[in-house]
Amino acid sequence: MTGRFHGVGVGPGDPELITLKAARLIAAADVVAYHAGVRKASNARRIAASLIPAAAIEEQLTYPVTTGATDHPGGYAGALADFYEDSAARLAAHLDAGRDVVLLSEGDPLFYGSYMYMHDRLSERYETEIVPGVPAFGAAAAAAAAPLVRQTDVLTVLPGTLPEPELARRLADTDAAVIMKLGRTFPSVRRALESAGRLEHAVYVERASMEGERRLPVAEVDPATVPYFSLILVTGDSRNGRRSREQAVPEPQAAEPAASAAELLVVGLGPGPDHWLTPEVSAALAGVDHVVGYGPYVDRVPQRPGLTRHASGNTVELDRARLALGLARRGERVAVVSGGDAGVFGMATAVFEAAEEPGYAAVPVRVLPGVSAVQAVAARAGAPVGGDFAVMSLSDRLKPWEVVEQRLRAVAEADMALAVYNPASRSRTEQIATAVRVLLEHRKPETVVVVGRGIGREGESLTVTTLGELDPAVIDMRCLLIVGASGTRVSSSGRVWTPRWVKP
């Protein structure tokens, strides 16, 4: 008979916050294990010390390194991987001998806890039980007497190790937040809070429920005094009077005066990299108070003090446009953002469509161009659209598929290069195969095809193939295709180009 493995949360620090079940299992354990830092005592053991039986075998699992500095050939990650394997083997030896093992975990075992790495290695081999514990942020909220969330507030838990711009963006986009893993990250976390406009309601709590507990506004904290056992609470919007993004600017009524309407900017962010963002668009974004758009595009706009972000889903373009027009109608400085160029299958047309509705006629709209996805893919490939070319979307969400097929045939008959947007999605997997069949009615199988996936982003790929050899199964929503004309060719260096001339 093998022993039983228990992952037991001992809470944030105060022994009185250990649950009754955790106390019972610790008191009955054959083996009590706990993690400890280099040359440091285990905080989990300190919390549970009075409950550990004198006859229990203790296993201290001491980390070989707690920072990124190590001479291990696999670096920091390699050193920890070896440590976890060795630790699991030590505990497995006890379990194989029939001993019950309790692994202590500060806070809750499944919340940023070291227990999880032992769980990954042992739970499939041995009977395992997990006992939850009071997490550190629960104790911190109680210590600060600061209700975190009410009603429909959204709580986000963030590690302070996130890059500062990313942390600022996430803080701006949530109602309430808990920021863990401070210490050396505190200065950048404080700057992120300020950029997101959340510093005023941010509370710092150190050693919650332990001896030496203290709490104070983040703005008053000396960065040199911040230990590992600390976190930051940002209380919810309903507590702070900060209205949610959806409620911040209600839809304007047609009868509302519009004399103070500001110019609404519609901008293209380019395909992805910051260096493809035009100086004109960058300057425009630095001067607005609101950014409206599809979530992933809004995420690309750096957060800064005074900026309110309005992110939404992928199929609510008109709702986004109305929100932006309503903001501008009140005199707010607003930018609607699109990936690539806003006028190429982007938000510009949705804004102009919504602007024709009653109540928005007085709002001036200006479109700022961006680098389009077809330009980015074409440049990576060479010059496949160097001659006449057409641009189409295979999405049939806003037009019947019969129209798509009709236009495909027209372009194929005209012998122009064709850039294909939206070739596939999770719900549209057959259109690209049908499109290839339609094009092959008028184009030779050896027609050159360029497939660009995620061009400009990490993991981008560019494939040059032919219309006859193109595999529709490898095409997804991150792809843009360029189908060459009959004259499109591939040079000896692998570059794809279409001549400017057409022989009679």
pLDDT 10s digits, 155-180: 999 999 999 988 998 898 888 999 99
Residues sharing a CB contact under 8 Å with residue 425, sequence separation 6 or more, in sequence order: 395, 476, 477
- The pTM assigned to this predicted structure is 0.71
| Shared domain check, 378 and 343 | no
Greatest CA span in the chain, whole angstroms?
Answer: 97
Give the distance, in angstroms, between the CA of residue 114 and the centroid of all CA atoms in the same chain.
Answer: 24
pLDDT of amino acid 243: 47
Residue 311: pLDDT band (50, 70, 90) is confident
Residue 255: pLDDT band (50, 70, 90) is very low
Report the alpha-carbon distance of residue 324 to residue 251 in Å, rounded: 10
Report the alpha-carbon distance of residue 402 to residue 119 in Å, rounded: 54
| Shared domain check, 234 and 160 | yes
| Shared domain check, 448 and 347 | no
Q: Inform me whether the pLDDT recorded for 81 exceeds 60.
A: yes
pLDDT of amino acid 240: 64
The per-residue pLDDT for range 376-402, each reduced to its tens digit, is: 999 999 999 999 999 999 999 899 999
The per-residue pLDDT for range 411-431, each reduced to its tens digit, is: 999 999 999 999 988 777 789
CATH of the domain at 159: 3.30.950.10
pLDDT of amino acid 253: 47
Residue 504 within any structural domain of the chain: no
CATH of the domain at 257: 3.40.1010.10
Q: Which two tokens stand for residue 313?
A: 């889903």
- The angle, 0 to 180 degrees and rounded to 10, between the axes of the packed helices 115-122 and 75-96 is 60
Residue 99 within any structural domain of the chain: yes
Question: Strand ranges (DSSP E) for 78-171?
Answer: 101-105, 128-131, 155-159
Task: Count CA atoms closer than 13 A to 401's CA, side-chain side.
Answer: 8
pLDDT of amino acid 92: 98
Residue 53 within any structural domain of the chain: yes
| Shared domain check, 102 and 11 | yes
* Pick from 2-16, 60-74, 269-283: least confident: 60-74
Report the alpha-carbon distance of residue 443 to residue 415 in Å, rounded: 8
pLDDT of amino acid 422: 93
Of 347, 368, 389, the residue at which a domain comes to its end is 368
DSSP characters over 308-346: EEEEE-TT-HHHHHHHHHHHHHTT--EEEEESB-TTSSS
Residue 503: pLDDT band (50, 70, 90) is confident
pLDDT of amino acid 223: 94
Percentage of the chain lying above the pLDDT 90 cut = 77
pLDDT of amino acid 313: 80
147 contacts 120 by C-beta, under 8 angstroms: no
pLDDT of amino acid 339: 94
pLDDT of amino acid 177: 96
When pLDDT is averaged across residues 274-297 and rounded to a whole number, the result is 94
| Shared domain check, 300 and 183 | no
Residue 502 within any structural domain of the chain: no
262 contacts 281 by C-beta, under 8 angstroms: no
When pLDDT is averaged across residues 312-331 and rounded to a whole number, the result is 91
Residue 503 within any structural domain of the chain: no
| Shared domain check, 193 and 83 | no
| Shared domain check, 180 and 217 | yes
Q: Inform me whether the pLDDT recorded for 87 exceeds 50.
A: yes
Domain interval for residue 396: 374-497
Q: Determine the residue type at 79.
A: A
Question: Strand ranges (DSSP E) for 423-471?
Answer: 448-453, 461-466
Residue 492: pLDDT band (50, 70, 90) is very high
| Shared domain check, 319 and 415 | no
The per-residue pLDDT for range 359-378, each reduced to its tens digit, is: 999 999 999 999 999 999 99
Pairing of strands 128-131, 5-9: parallel
Report the alpha-carbon distance of residue 351 to residue 325 in Å, rounded: 8
* Pick from 21-30, 34-43, 306-315, 316-325: least confident: 306-315
When pLDDT is averaged across residues 17-33 and rounded to a whole number, the result is 98
* Pick from 59-63, 293-297, 452-456, 490-494: least confident: 293-297
Of 351, 368, 385, the residue at which a domain comes to its end is 368
Mean residue pLDDT of the chain comes to: 92
Q: Inform me whether the pLDDT recorded for 335 exceeds 70.
A: yes
| Shared domain check, 391 and 351 | no
338 contacts 266 by C-beta, under 8 angstroms: yes
Of 134, 150, 174, the residue at which a domain comes to its end is 134
pLDDT of amino acid 167: 92
pLDDT of amino acid 247: 39
Q: Inform me whether the pLDDT recorded for 259 exceeds 80.
A: no
Q: Inform me whether the pLDDT recorded for 316 exceeds 90.
A: no
| Shared domain check, 458 and 429 | yes
When pLDDT is averaged across residues 100-112 and rounded to a whole number, the result is 96
Structural domain count of the chain: 4
Q: How many residues does the chain have?
A: 504
| Shared domain check, 116 and 68 | yes
Residue 208 within any structural domain of the chain: yes
pLDDT of amino acid 242: 54
Residue 205 within any structural domain of the chain: yes
When pLDDT is averaged across residues 435-461 and rounded to a whole number, the result is 95
Report the alpha-carbon distance of residue 136 to residue 178 in Å, rounded: 10
| Shared domain check, 110 and 16 | yes
Residue 49 within any structural domain of the chain: yes
Report the alpha-carbon distance of residue 19 to residue 10 in Å, rounded: 7
Task: Count CA atoms closer than 13 A to 376's CA, side-chain side.
Answer: 27
pLDDT of amino acid 306: 87
Residue 244: pLDDT band (50, 70, 90) is very low
The per-residue pLDDT for range 224-233, each reduced to its tens digit, is: 999 988 999 9
pLDDT of amino acid 239: 61
Q: Inform me whether the pLDDT recorded for 250 exceeds 70.
A: no
pLDDT of amino acid 347: 96
Give the distance, in angstroms, between the CA of residue 259 and the centroid of all CA atoms in the same chain.
Answer: 39
